[in-house]
Amino acid sequence: MYRYVDAGSAPYSPRRHAPELAVGRALRRRGLRYLVDVAPPGTNRRRRVDVLLRGARIAWFVDGCFWHSCPEHGQLPKANREWWRVKLHGVVVRDRDTDAQLTSARKT
């Protein structure tokens, strides 16, 4: 027998979350047009930004404390601590590489 699981309660939900929605509302109030969850031109196509203001060439990331290892609020899970440490370090390294790609794309 299958159990019904609400998509909102799944561990990973592809929906936009409250901080991303708040950013979108603020941009719309100011009359700005933007794209969501896209690969910016001139970068690795597997890297995606949360919000892209194309005309102004601004890429905006809405980083959560857990996945992006916020030094103030991020915490490692108690189970499989070493695996999570390596995993989250990889996310931070990828973030810095994406920043570098966007910076170099902006200069061209």
Q: What is the DSSP string of 27-83?
A: HHHTT---EEEEPPTTS-TT--EEEEETTTTEEE----TTTTT-TTT----STTHHH
Neighbours of 39 (CB within 10 A): 14
Q: For position 26, what pLDDT does the model report?
A: 92
Q: For the domain 7-107, what is the CATH superfamily, name and number?
A: VSR Endonuclease (3.40.960.10)
Residue 41 to residue 57: CA distance in whole angstroms: 9
Domain boundaries, the chain: 7-107
Q: For position 65, what pLDDT does the model report?
A: 79
Nearest of 40, 55, 56 to residue 99 by alpha carbon: 40
Residue 41 to residue 14: CA distance in whole angstroms: 22
80, two tokens = 């499989």
Mean pLDDT of 28-45: 86
What predicted TM-score, i.e. pTM, was given to this entire model? Answer: 0.68
